[in-house]
Amino acid sequence: MTGFRFLDRHFAGVDPRLVMAFFLMAALLLAQVVFAVVGGLLAAAFGVEDVTGFVFPLALMGANAVCFTLIWRHLHAPQPPALASIGFASSRVSLGTTLAFVLLLYLVAAMLAGLYVQLVDYEGQQATTEMIMEAGRNNLFVKVLMIIAVVVLGPVIEEVIFRGYLQSALADRFGPAIGICGGALIFGAFHFQPEAFPLLALIGAACGIAYHVTRSLWPAILLHIMNNAAFIVGLFYLEATP
């Protein structure tokens, strides 16, 4: 059971993890739109000049908070899922091996991403890059909010959705290869950035492998955090350097 009556009623017989995965995806997108609209109205009402700097982090933080609440409710449903079934467990390999494996996956993914960038003359995630740069421009508080949303909260929520719920359900039904690939492809498509789809699917696959091998979400979350942190550092600090 998901703990949401309308979901349990309309999707009876479907793996609750799969139902929750798509429910959370829809909730994340809808919440971002709602908070963006609300933020835009508030910015207009109070005469905020830096609209993007106000709206973008508000939308990200608000959407993450909504999804966290929905996940919390599912974990406290009358018949909650076994935590291990969605990755809330310790890695099945030692800490040192886990960290080394995560680092290896990160380096391999970075190497493949670099190769892809050179082959197709990739110019970056322009829309997202511009919004993040604009949001963090000359405003330390907003920059901190962006770092929290993109580097910490985003990876945690997305890994719960795409690996904990989606990949787990697909892998149990169709096998680990379909689980990893399916989760990675949907993860890439979910970001609605066609030019960045191969790179997003690549990091999704790396996180999926980390999850499959360790049977824990924490290594996948760490890998996702490392990827997003490198992206944010590149935007806020390296590109900003004269």
Distance of alpha carbon 99 from the chain centroid: 20
Distances (CA, A) of 120 to 50, 108, 117, 201, 230: 34, 18, 6, 16, 21
Cα-flanking dihedrals φ and ψ of residue 128, to 5°? Answer: -65, -40
Find, among 111, 129, 151, 134, the residue nearest to 53 by Cα: 134
Residue 147's CB is within 10 A of a number of other CB atoms, namely: 18
| Alpha-carbon gap, residue 125 to 155, rounded angstroms | 17
Number of domains in the chain: 1
Report phi then psi at 79, rounded to 5: -125, 80
Chain length of the chain? 242
Q: Alpha-carbon distance 36 to 33, whole Å?
A: 5
- What are the pLDDT tens digits along the chain (242 aa)? 898 999 999 999 999 999 999 999 999 999 999 999 998 898 888 887 777 777 888 899 999 999 999 999 999 998 899 999 999 999 999 999 999 999 999 999 999 998 988 888 766 666 666 666 666 565 777 788 888 988 999 999 999 999 999 999 999 999 999 999 999 999 999 998 888 899 999 999 999 999 999 999 999 999 999 999 998 877 766 555 44
**Domain membership of residue 126 as a residue range:** 5-238
Tokens found for residue 179:
């689980």
pLDDT at residue 241 in the model = 46
Say how many Å lie between the first and final Cα of the chain, rounded. Answer: 54
pTM metric for this prediction: 0.92
Q: What local confidence, expressed as pLDDT, does residue 242 receive?
A: 46
Residue 216 CA from chain centroid, whole number:
16
Which residue type does 43 have?
Answer: A
